[in-house]
Chains A and B, each alone.
Chain A
């Protein structure tokens, strides 16, 4: 039997008396775009934060190629190949676009103080710059390399967030609500970039509130409700699944 690429099992998080995520389990296949959806308050973001190491799970495991990564710190998770993005436009707003991407190359070209002082790191610096420019080029940002990241338009900032993650050459990229606040045109462009990213060999796990945005994108979708696993399947199955419809209707009424 083969070991699943990314496996979540029995994942639980309690905040005081509140159970945000309760015994969640699912698997993500290598090279897939996998969606994790659910109505507001379903525990998607909490799950996401546990996978990326931002939170420590109360119970349960996250395994990457069979190796447990749950409970590790965020930078340790990143060093094992799982890199996340953040909701909204979380960037180094004060740094230039290129510098943002250079921070992303941190793991591949680990800086060294002594080499930097003497000047023995020229090769690493060139490599890092190449990698950063490659990532910017991938997302069509190379022309903006020397602009201040905080000055970019919203859509570009989102793309830059992904470019920073991509510069880290991750095996798995975790995208936290990448479509929030985007107009349809921006959404389409972003979807095209994600397909391109997947075709380059990166496994993608997307957390998204908007069910429609992920339908055309994901190979498989896991649905959560009230912190629990609700169902899983290909987009066609999810779209017509009565429990999912019920959950989302309930969610909508709750929001309204």
Chain B
């Protein structure tokens, strides 16, 4: 009963808070909020990929595939921006599908290196082929999202606040879909493949197909996040999707923890706040890679289960069932 009340009050309250949020922020903070919203989608999709137990180092490049594809579809083919974003996501998923043929012959450490190599190849192709990818300087003057009016609110996408609302809706829908997938028999099969792939196979699960499925879906969402980014900042280049960006995503996921749906999202939010509030305000913006490196090391060493384990402990204590429940959820 308590749970239902929480749902009825909790979700609308959260939605209201998220809608009200930008009004308390400065222009530059609103811009950060847009990036954060996009990054939440990116890191949540990364977790979906890790559900089957494989960690990729090419996820950010896949995001870039979505960004480049959507940018090119609007620029070269004149496709309407919202449509091209979806096509960009599909392109990222398609590229992931093609990559899965070589990559899923590998497991564990080899998959990690293989995904890194595949990502680098894609990045080098962008760099090398000026036509159509624009070479090292990338693509500039990407069409923005066209303004529109829905009666109660008129979207002017020059304003970060408008783009934030758009991103919020898109990301919200995507998170809901990912949540539905994880809570479904498909999600259970992902977990089964992760924990005991041989036993899953003995139960008739085509393990490789499920690894590919997780990879392709995750890549589609990553591609959509890339498309959202491209049409916001108006420019993409190979360096926006380099290993440094991948390290940020990895840090969000590891600092937050990947056992729960919300872990990586917490990681992204906490670290972005840390970055913007602490580092930028104090003038340490330059030290972002240093701080991220330290955080990554510290969380691997001292908080291997991530921030989510802290949240779970607090929740468990409040529910009076003690830390045991936290341990159980942890699994």
Interface residues of A (CB under 8 A from B): 52, 54, 73-75, 78-79, 83-86, 90-95, 99, 102-104, 106-107, 109, 111-113, 116-117, 119, 121, 124-125, 128, 148, 150, 164-165, 167-168
- Which residues of A are found within 8 Å of B187, using beta-carbon distances? 116
Q: What's the nearest-Cβ distance from chain B to residue A34, in Å? A: 19
Q: What's the nearest-Cβ distance from chain A to residue B41, in Å? A: 16
- Which residues of B are found within 8 Å of A121, using beta-carbon distances? 184-185
List B residues 78-92 near A (Cβ within 8 Å): none
Q: What's the nearest-Cβ distance from chain A to residue B100, in Å? A: 16
Q: Is the interface of B mostly helix, strand, loop or mixed?
A: helix
Assembled-state Cα–Cα distance A150/B177 (Å)? 30
Q: B165-203 toward A: CB 8 Å interface, digit per residue (1/0)?
A: 000000000000100110011111101100110111111
A79→B204 contact, CB < 8 A: yes
8 closest A-B pairs by beta carbon, nearest first, are A116-B184, A111-B185, A107-B204, A78-B204, A94-B331, A111-B186, A103-B192, A74-B201
Assembled-state Cα–Cα distance A234/B184 (Å)? 47
B203→A113 contact, CB < 8 A: no
Whether B279 sits at the interface, judged by CB under 8 Å, is: no
- Which residues of A are found within 8 Å of B203, using beta-carbon distances? 78, 83, 103-104, 106-107, 164-165, 167-168
Q: What's the nearest-Cβ distance from chain A to residue B220, in Å? A: 11
Return the chain B residue nearest A147 by Cβ.
B328
Add 14 more A-B contacts to A83-B204, A103-B199, A106-B203 (CB < 8 A).
A86-B199, A91-B196, A94-B331, A95-B191, A102-B185, A103-B192, A103-B203, A107-B203, A111-B184, A111-B186, A113-B186, A121-B185, A150-B331, A168-B203
Q: What's the nearest-Cβ distance from chain B to residue A171, in Å? A: 13
- Which residues of B are found within 8 Å of A106, using beta-carbon distances? 185, 189, 200, 203-205
Whether B207 sits at the interface, judged by CB under 8 Å, is: yes
Interface residues of B (CB under 8 A from A): 177, 180-181, 184-189, 191-192, 195-196, 198-207, 213, 217, 328, 331
- Which residues of A are found within 8 Å of B177, using beta-carbon distances? 117
- Jot down 9 A-B pairs with beta carbons below 8 A, ordered by A: A75-B204, A94-B195, A95-B191, A95-B192, A113-B181, A117-B177, A117-B184, A124-B185, A165-B202
Q: What's the nearest-Cβ distance from chain A to residue B86, in Å? A: 16
Q: What's the nearest-Cβ distance from chain B to residue A69, in Å? A: 13
- Which residues of B are found within 8 Å of A104, using beta-carbon distances? 203
- Which residues of B are found within 8 Å of A117, using beta-carbon distances? 177, 180-181, 184
Return the chain B residue nearest A104 by Cβ.
B203
A103→B213 contact, CB < 8 A: no
- Which residues of B are found within 8 Å of A164, using beta-carbon distances? 199, 203
Assembled-state Cα–Cα distance A104/B185 (Å)? 11
Return the chain B residue nearest A113 by Cβ.
B186
Assembled-state Cα–Cα distance A107/B192 (Å)? 14
Assembled-state Cα–Cα distance A38/B101 (Å)? 41
- Which residues of B are found within 8 Å of A79, using beta-carbon distances? 204
- Which residues of A are found within 8 Å of B202, using beta-carbon distances? 52, 74-75, 78, 83-86, 165
Assembled-state Cα–Cα distance A142/B311 (Å)? 31
Assembled-state Cα–Cα distance A75/B187 (Å)? 18
Which of A73, A83, A90, A92 contacts B192 (CB under 8 A)? A92
- Which residues of B are found within 8 Å of A102, using beta-carbon distances? 185, 188
- Which residues of A are found within 8 Å of B184, using beta-carbon distances? 111, 113, 116-117, 121, 125
